[in-house]
Every structure is written in structure tokens, then in C-alpha cells.
Structure 1
């Protein structure tokens, strides 16, 4: 797998983006939250099949949590949702990923178009360490060759840092390196950087796994605050976190060497309080995994 920081350049590099799409209050149609739908997704690494016939609707303005033990394909599935899976030379897949009904894997659709609309926050915070906090947020504009006036960039930085719950903590030190922030602050900086290019969906791969409880709580608050503005899909091994932040859950499982698949999905309350499958009951109650 390539380094997430290197991948960031691929995700945000698209010179066709224009400033009216990033100014606060403009380009609303492009940044409305979208419904994301996986339709019978199967995936392989070489001859090894890791997912089989996974179908799931992730509604707009909702938080969907992907839960399940390690090795069941959750992170692979997440990376398929914004075409990162194909960065692995041996990777292949079948099925469709629909963004408001349009398949992001259709021939002729640019990979940068999908990644611009479907952002990613990785498990390990990956700000550009020597770049300032301010420049980290605007990195998407610079790498995409987008011309933006100083007032526009200033407004964008404040807006995105505010949405990520970081503005009040860093507004007096925007020119300091992003790498000097704490781990929790770096993760929120990465969220702000993702928001700056106006994604319609935000994917989060265990964003709190390396953070302390205080930072985890702040990230969870940020997820709640963002859910009306962007569709969120989060992978988490923390059942309490899934219960706190999500509107619906999908339970993945790979049994006895079989590919990962969804055992059950539905509203979070029902998944935790009255699951239909005994395997779900066992997992959410900590009997395995």
C-alpha cells in the first residue's frame, strides 16, 4: 500500500477545480451531501478474495459505522469507496459504487473526480509536517493549481478549521508547522484539509485509534457537527464509539478463511439492542473480536 501522504496528492490534484467551488457559501450544489451505495462489491488481492458480494447504502447526512473484527475487509471496503483500492498493483474488484446513482468506476470518469467528492481521513494523522497549519488546510488549492485571493483563502481556512473543531485552539498560530500539533489536533487538521475541497462524503478509517480519550471525544463531537454537511462512513473497532457517533451500522465478518461479508446492517440502536443474527449479538457484546 502506498504512503497515505503520497496518496493525498493524487486525491486532491485536479486543475479543473475553480475558486467558486471553494469559496464559503458558493458551489452548494457540488458540496451537498450524497448518498453512497455499494452494489455487490467483491474484491481481491491477487488470487486472494477479501470481500464477497457486499451491498450497502450509506444515506446522505448520516453516519454509517463499519464494525467487525480485524481482517474482515472493512478498511478494504472503505478504500474501494473512493477508488484507493486500485492503487495496489495486485488489487481487483467487481461490482459498483454509486454516488447519487452514478457509478464512480464507470469508464471515462476521472479518478480525481471521485476522490474530490469522496474524501478520506486515515487512521494515522498525516499532515504535511513542515507545512504551516494554514498551508495544510489550503494544500488542495495549491496542488490543484487553483487561483484564490488572500481573502478567500483566509475565509476558507477559518471555516474549515472551525468545522473541524480546531479554530479556537490554533487561530493565533496559523503559521506554525502542522507537525507541531498534538496527535488529536493533527487529526482534526487532516479533517479540515479534507473539508477544504468540499467533499460530499467523508470516509474515516479508525480516526481515533491512536488518540487519547480527550482527543477522541473531540473528534466524535466533530463527527456529530459535520454529519448535516457531509455523509460520513467510519471504520471503528470501538463498539462504544460506534454506538455514540453512528446512525446505522454494518457488521462485517470473515469466517474460517472465507471472504469478508456483511452479516447484518441496520439502525445503530437496533444493531446493539436487538440484533437479528446471533453472531452480531456476540460481537457487539464483546464475546469475540
Structure 2
């Protein structure tokens, strides 16, 4: 059990009587759920009347790392946000097509938005821990948002497990009550990964998670991604070709040409995309001749 001073406030306490926390329980912290297969079928996206994606289809295998590469403005991040319905948060945004989570459309009738966000987590480009909240409470923030009830021991075990999986436990285990905002940029990003893992997602989306970090922090995040590979399905947007080659097992190259909506030019095994791409535009991009 984690040694937390008795005087420390517990901002992740149980919800008031009558809330959903009275019936929700924390999944067993000793066994994370299996990674899930995600599949996009003919996904198109708009901002108002501006179409930014044109019928994108991609299979993201369970327990693998899929990298989305391509120049700025080709729709990679928009596509990523359609996968867990975050695209809906943007005013005037719309989409068509299907996103299948283990064969079931997350946009299907009767499918709840909260279910998609819980099963398909997200880590953003800029680390966004709750700055005034402790490291410990940052990890558990998702439990409050989902109304999940847990004992003190379950919370302690979950914090240790998630920070360990995020590669941060050894660095912060003696200062769990210090503010998350006091950590370095790379540590904050790993804290955000730990926070995302706490609600037991089976897929984890990462939108350029290293773009704001120094090389040392970037290397540690990449090590974390490699360690998580196999435990959770990961889809990562990156502009760093070397990073895509290092961390992923498959790549999808996006491109938007001459004002047309973005789409996938080519996708396949990472070794093939970087070693012997079928399309000359892919070869030019991975070689650094444009973008």
C-alpha cells in the first residue's frame, strides 16, 4: 500500500450518495483488459462546409502501434479525433463513415459518448495534467469523471500500476502528493499517459505526444510506448519519421493535394513503408524531399 500522509486531502473520494459511483466499481487492478482492434471504414470529416477527410479506411490491429504520418494539414489529427468521437466537440464539425471497436460502430445508435472515451483514451500534443492537483489525484481523475467507486487500497494499487506502466513510478513514488504541474514536461506527459490508463482503455490515441519535449524526454516517451505495445492498442500521430520507424509496427501515410481533402496514400508494415514504399509520393515524404 502506498504510504500517503494521513493529513493529505483526498480529492478523489467517493461521490455523493445516489450518484453512479454507488454502483460502479473499479475493475480489478491486477488484470488490464485485452487490447482491442479498431477499424475505420470510409471516414470523411468536415468543419462546416470544408471537407478535410475523404473516405479514409484503416485497420488498426489489436496490441500493435499504428503511426499516422504526413505533412501538416492532411487530416491526421482530425482522423485521430474521429476514432473516439472527440471530433464532435468542435462546433460545426461533422463526419460520416464507421469506426468499429471490436466490430461495433462507436457512432452506432444507442452508443454512448462516454463509453467511447473510456474505452479509447487520448494523450494530447501538449501535456495537460491538472496543475494544482497532486500526482496521485491526477492519475485518479478519470475515476471521478466516470463515477467509479474504489477503496483506498484499490486507488493506491491503481496509481502504482498506472505510473509503472507509464514509466514514471520510480521517479515520483516519494512525492505523490506534490502538484502534477511541478513535474518536468516529459514527466507531465507520462503522468497524462498514466491518467489515461487508469480508466482501463483498450485503445490509446496519441496526438504528437513528443512534439513539445526535449530529446531525452522524447526517448523516454518512446520507451513507454514500446513497453505498452501489446498491452494496449496505440495509434500515434507524429511528424518525426525516425520516431514512427522506431515505435510502430504499421504506418499510414496521409496527404492532401491541391486543396483536396486528406486521405491515405499508402499504408502497410512500417518496414515496407520506409524501406520499399509502393507510391513515389510516400518515398519522397519519408526521404524528406517534402513536408
TM-score, normalised with respect to structure 1: 0.92
Paired residue secondary structure (2:73): coil
Match of 1:210 among 209, 212, 217: 212
SS of 1:57 mapped into structure 2: strand
Q: Paired residue for 1:84?
A: 86
* 2:5 corresponding residue in structure 1: none
Please state how far the C-alpha of 1:20 moved relative to its aligned partner: 4.0
How much is the aligned-residue C-alpha RMSD, in angstroms?
Answer: 1.2
Check 1:205–1:44 CA distance in 2 against 1; reply closer, same or farther (3 A cut): same
- CA distance in 2: counterparts of 1:81 and 1:92, whole angstroms: 13
Structure 2 counterpart SS, 1:49: strand
Query: Match of 2:171?
Result: 169
Match for residue 153 of structure 2?
A: 151
Tell me the equivalent position of 1:24.
29
Taking the aligned partners of 2:75 and 2:144, their CA distance within structure 1 comes to 34
Q: Secondary structure at the match of 2:51?
A: strand
Shift of 1:147: 1.8
- In the alignment, the residues of structure 1 paired with residue 86 and residue 250 of structure 2 have an alpha-carbon distance, to the nearest angstrom, of 24
Choose the corresponding residue for 2:131, options 113, 129, 132.
129
SS across alignment from 2:41: strand
Counterpart Cα distance in 2 of 1:256 and 1:33: 38
**Aligned residue number for residue 70 of structure 2:** 68
CA distance in 1, matches of 2:95, 2:144: 33
1:182 to 184, 188, 195: 184
* Partner-residue secondary structure (3-state), 2:213: coil
User: Contact 2:138–2:195 at 8 Å: present in 1 too?
Assistant: yes
Distance between the aligned counterparts of 2:247 and 2:68, measured in 1?
Answer: 12
- Paired residues in the alignment total 272
Deviations 1:24-67 (A, max 9, x none): 125x5xx2100000000011111100000100000001000000
Distance in 2 (CA, whole Å) between partners of 1:72 and 1:143 is: 33
Partner SS, residue 191 of structure 2:
helix
Higher helix share: 1
Does 135-144 or 157-166 show the bigger shift?
A: 135-144
Residues 62 and 232 in structure 2, CA contact (< 8 A), matched pair in contact too: yes
The reply to whether residue 101 of structure 1 matches residue 109 of structure 2 is no
The match for 1:3 is none
Scaled by the length of structure 2, what TM-score is found? 0.91
Report the 3-state secondary structure (helix = DSSP H, G, I; strand = E; otherwise coil) of the residue aligned with 1:193. helix
What are the superposed Cα offsets for residues 156-185 of structure 1, whole Å, 9 maximum, x if unpaired?
Answer: 000000000000000000000000000000
Q: Give the gaps of 5 or more residues in structure 2.
A: 1-18
Partners of 1:20 and 1:85 in 2: CA distance: 28
Residue in 1 that maps onto 2:288: 286
Greater mean alpha carbon deviation, residues 141-150 or residues 174-183: 141-150
The runs of 5 or more residues in structure 1 that have no matched partner are 1-13
